[in-house]
């Protein structure tokens, strides 16, 4: 037998609900860790005094009793676990694991026994039910009746609110009231907060972010009392899970965070965290309301009667000593600005995300604490509004997703290295490793592929080309000089208009402006049309040889063919796509030994295929397929030659049409006696003619321009 025994999916009852976790028996101690809260129960082996094995609702359970009076119950064991656990207890703990059966008679008359913090109701020395007194919130008495009320648990679907016990009148000679005795036994171990005596110390007007406001905090030996102007809260130290001391990004303030389970309640609002905000410059001198001997005896030197220092240090020191829990501070992480946190937003509220050594905590609205062990994967996502920021997504094993958005791109490299060092599963690792560092979120759009951006770029290019062609047509229409590409415009065009001298001068200046404009943009006016590229011939398709041996199946396909009917029978009505998904999941979960069997079958099938293929080729089986492929290519070539011949004949016809076209006049036919209105009319007709010619040229696929044909 080994030194330890470990069990998964073991449940612990907490105020009416079952919390699952892991239980480990070792030679030194018994350790249970809750999956929900991460809280650890450590029971030293020398303190174990008794152990019971019994049948419960979740199979079998173990009840452990310690010498200090504490009782721990764990359920979810199998019947076959009894022998090895019993042997382990005898060998290492010197404790016998006794079998104890529960009473199932259904009687409601029996004996109430108080054993430590547990009230057991028994019939014929067999327990019917047990009540942990720590779950009791109040105890009231009547004439012959005791009413026990319980704390409400938000996680439980059904909560037990109260139980009433009828206590018969006492027939003894001692004269004590049995009802009051029963109630005192319950209240002595119940989780009932009673402010008896003076507070150990009081902190005045502390700023609280959650719940918001300023509160006087009174420190009692067993609980914390928050007294505000509107609400009061009493927090038992047993409900405190963790303590955090976090520096603000401005380096002038400190957060002190207290994690609570169960949370404090105000109406329907639940506060799982108590967050205090302190200024680093605020100092305090504190004297505890206890003698020095009492302080030394109670706190073992952790506190002294008189203390002085900064306010946040004294508050955290007092809480650490009373709660008896460590204070968590940020680890080695440093952001781009040198701070130990990252500015981000969660649920539309800005806050600070602190990467810790064992998790993340977000402060403050709403506060979130995520442990690494409950994180399934993380994801770095591109910001929704701008490329200057990114989102950090965390997905838990319970399928809850937390998105921290608007993180500056400069923080990417630091955060990625931190997540990688903690060995967290990164969902998009392949993409992000290529973007490592701040350059991954630079302004350049070439670093990342954005389909929408690429489409907009293409539309912009098309629009620019269209605008350029319009400008070139406009310039040629204004001056309308077909021979403009050869030489400058002749000056005789400047003196054509029969107008007054002043109008002529204006015309000259306008023509000179047009002339300059033409000289500046000679390339835009005349554009050589690019020849269309010939299409590449398509690749020849391989002709499938129907007589050739079939390729062998992979190990997965062989396994799927052998198990398809079984999957259909186990899941009636399942579709084909769902069968594939289910089969993929089952194949992943298949053990290595089972997979090796199918790998061997696939290897044998491959060898048989290679042997059959070799024999097939030797017998000349592949020659028929090659001949069929050659005949197909010849037919395609014949068809291609016919199409080319048709295109050539069509091009010659279009050329003939262009030669016979006299829809516009060249500059030799323009007379100097035409009026300005006639010239405008001619320009309009010539523009239309040039457009028609361009369309004909495009149809004929000839590179010649309309100006060249006119000059010829």
Q: What is the distance between the alpha carbons of residues 316 and 322, in angstroms, rounded to a whole number?
A: 10
The whole-chain average pLDDT of the chain stands at: 75
Average pLDDT over residues 593-619: 86
Tell me whether strands 5-14 and 375-382 are parallel, antiparallel or unpaired: unpaired
> How many other CB atoms sit within 10 Å of the CB of residue 236?
16
- Contacts of residue 636, Cβ cutoff 8 Å, sequence gap at least 6: none
User: In this structure, what DSSP letter does residue 559 have?
Assistant: H
Each residue's pLDDT tens digit, 168-219: 887 555 667 888 888 888 888 776 666 556 788 999 999 999 889 999 999 9
| pTM > 0.85 | no
Given a cut of 70, whether residue 513 has pLDDT beyond it is no
CB-based contact 65:49 (threshold 8 Å): yes
Q: What is the pLDDT of residue 573?
A: 78
Q: What is the pLDDT of residue 314?
A: 92
Angle formed by the axes of helices 592-618 and 555-570, nearest 10°: 120
Integer angstrom CA distances of residue 663 from 85, 685, 700, 710: 107, 9, 18, 10
Strands in 29-34's sheet, in edge-to-edge order, are 40-44, 29-34, 17-25, 5-14, 71-77, 59-66, 48-56, 97-99
Q: What is the distance between the alpha carbons of residues 150 and 137, in angstroms, rounded to a whole number?
A: 5
Tell me whether strands 401-408 and 201-210 are parallel, antiparallel or unpaired: unpaired
Give the number of residues written for the chain.
Answer: 712
Q: What is the pLDDT of residue 490?
A: 43
Q: What is the pLDDT of residue 497?
A: 43
Q: What is the distance between the alpha carbons of residues 51 and 41, in angstroms, rounded to a whole number?
A: 16
Q: Residues 398, 401, 404, 409: what is their CA dihedral angle, to the nearest 10 degrees?
A: 100
Angle at 389 between CA 386 and CA 390, to 5 degrees: 110
Q: What is the pLDDT of residue 393?
A: 93
Q: What is the distance between the alpha carbons of residues 76 and 433, in angstroms, rounded to a whole number?
A: 43
Q: What is the distance between the alpha carbons of residues 425 and 416, in angstroms, rounded to a whole number?
A: 11
Strands in 201-210's sheet, in edge-to-edge order, are 232-236, 223-227, 213-219, 201-210, 269-279, 253-266, 240-247, 327-328
Pick the range with the lowest mean pLDDT from 206-210, 574-578, 637-641. Answer: 637-641
CB-based contact 244:256 (threshold 8 Å): yes
Tokens encoding 496: 């054509």
Q: What is the pLDDT of residue 259?
A: 93
């Amino acid at each position: 037998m080994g030194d330890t025994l470990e069990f998964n999916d073991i449940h612990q009852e907490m105020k009416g609900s079952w919390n699952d976790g892991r239980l480990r028996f070792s030679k030194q101690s018994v350790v249970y860790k809750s999956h929900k809260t991460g809280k650890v129960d450590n029971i030293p082996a020398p303190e174990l005094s008794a152990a019971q094995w019994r049948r419960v609702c979740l199979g079998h359970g173990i009840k452990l009793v310690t010498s200090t009076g504490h009782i721990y119950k764990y359920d979810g064991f199998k019947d076959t676990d009894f022998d090895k656990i019993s042997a382990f207890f005898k060998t290492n703990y010197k404790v016998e694991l006794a079998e104890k059966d529960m009473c199932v008679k259904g009687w409601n008359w029996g004996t109430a026994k108080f054993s430590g913090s547990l009230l057991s109701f028994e019939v014929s020395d067999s327990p019917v039910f047990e009540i942990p007194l720590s779950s009791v919130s109040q105890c009231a008495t009547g004439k012959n009746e005791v009413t026990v009320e319980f704390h409400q648990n938000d996680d439980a679907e059904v909560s037990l609110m109260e139980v009433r016990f009828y206590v018969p009148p006492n027939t003894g000679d001692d004269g004590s009231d049995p009802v009051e005795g029963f109630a005192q036994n319950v209240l002595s171990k119940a989780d009932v907060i009673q402010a008896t005596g003076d507070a150990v110390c009081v902190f005045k007007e502390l700023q609280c972010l959650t719940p918001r406001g300023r509160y006087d905090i009174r420190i009692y030996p067993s609980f914390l009392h928050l007294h505000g102007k509107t609400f009061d809260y009493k927090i038992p130290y047993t409900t405190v899970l963790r303590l955090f001391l976090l520096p603000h990004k401005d380096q002038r303030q400190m957060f002190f965070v207290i994690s609570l389970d169960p949370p404090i309640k105000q109406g329907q609002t639940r506060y799982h965290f108590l967050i205090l905000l302190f200024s680093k410059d605020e100092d305090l001198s504190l004297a505890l309301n206890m003698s020095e001997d009492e302080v030394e005896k109670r706190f073992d030197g952790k506190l002294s009667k008189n203390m002085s220092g900064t306010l946040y240090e004294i508050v955290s020191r007092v809480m650490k000593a009373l709660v008896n829990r460590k204070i968590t501070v940020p680890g080695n992480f440093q952001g781009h600005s040198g701070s130990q946190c990252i500015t981000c937003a969660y649920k539309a509220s800005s806050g600070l995300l602190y990467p810790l050594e064992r998790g993340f905590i977000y402060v403050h609205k709403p506060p979130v604490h995520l442990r690494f062990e409950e994180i399934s994967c993380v994801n770095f996502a591109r910001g929704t509004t701008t490329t200057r920021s990114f989102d950090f997504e965390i997905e838990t094993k319970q399928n809850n997703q937390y998105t921290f958005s608007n993180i500056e791109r400069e923080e990417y490299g630091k955060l990625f290295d931190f997540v990688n060092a903690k060995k967290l599963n990164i969902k998009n690792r392949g993409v992000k490793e290529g973007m490592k560092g701040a350059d991954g979120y630079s302004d350049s759009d070439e670093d990342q592929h954005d389909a929408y951006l690429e489409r907009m770029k293409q539309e912009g290019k098309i629009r620019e080309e269209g605008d350029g062609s319009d400008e070139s047509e406009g310039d040629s229409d204004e001056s309308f000089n077909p021979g403009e590409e050869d030489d400058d415009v002749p000056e005789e065009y400047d003196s054509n208009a029969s107008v007054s001298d002043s109008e002529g001068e204006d015309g000259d200046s306008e023509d000179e402006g047009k002339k300059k404009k033409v000289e500046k943009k000679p390339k835009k006016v005349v554009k050589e049309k690019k020849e269309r590229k010939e299409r590449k011939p398509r690749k020849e398709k391989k002709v499938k040889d129907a007589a050739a041996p079939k390729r062998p199946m992979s190990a997965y396909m062989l396994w799927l063919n052998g198990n398809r009917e079984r999957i259909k029978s186990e899941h009636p009505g399942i579709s084909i796509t769902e069968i594939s998904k289910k089969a993929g999941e089952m194949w992943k979960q298949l053990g290595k030994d089972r997979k090796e069997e199918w790998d061997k079958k696939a290897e044998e099938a491959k060898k048989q295929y290679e042997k059959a293929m070799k024999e097939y080729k030797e017998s000349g089986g592949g020659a028929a397929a090659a001949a069929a492929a050659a005949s197909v290519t010849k037919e395609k070539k014949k068809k291609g030659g016919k199409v080319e011949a048709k295109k050539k004949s069509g091009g010659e016809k279009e050329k003939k049409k262009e030669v016979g076209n006299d829809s516009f006049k060249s500059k030799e036919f323009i007379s100097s006696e035409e009026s300005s209105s006639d010239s405008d009319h001619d320009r309009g007709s010539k523009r239309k003619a040039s457009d028609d010619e361009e369309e004909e040229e495009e149809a004929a696929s000839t590179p010649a321009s309309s100006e060249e044909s006119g000059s010829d």
